[in-house]
Amino acid sequence: MTAARESLPPDTMLGAYRLVDTIGKGGFSLIYLARVEETGDEVVTRW
pLDDT digits (tens, 9 = 90+) for 1-47: 455 568 899 999 999 999 999 999 988 899 999 999 999 999 999 98
Tell me what pLDDT residue 10 has. Answer: 95
Asked if 31 and 23 touch (Cβ cutoff 8 Å), the reply is yes
- Residue 39 inside a domain? The answer is yes
Domain that holds residue 28: 13-46
* Per-residue confidence (pLDDT) for residue 32, from 0 to 100: 96
CB atoms within 10 A of CB 9: 8
Specify if 31 maps to a domain.
Answer: yes
Contact yes or no for 28/2 (Cβ under 8 A) = yes
Q: Which residues contact 47 (CB under 8 A, 6 or more apart)?
A: 8, 14, 29, 30, 32
Task: State residue 1's pLDDT score.
Answer: 45
Domain count of the fold of the chain = 1
| 37 is a domain residue | yes
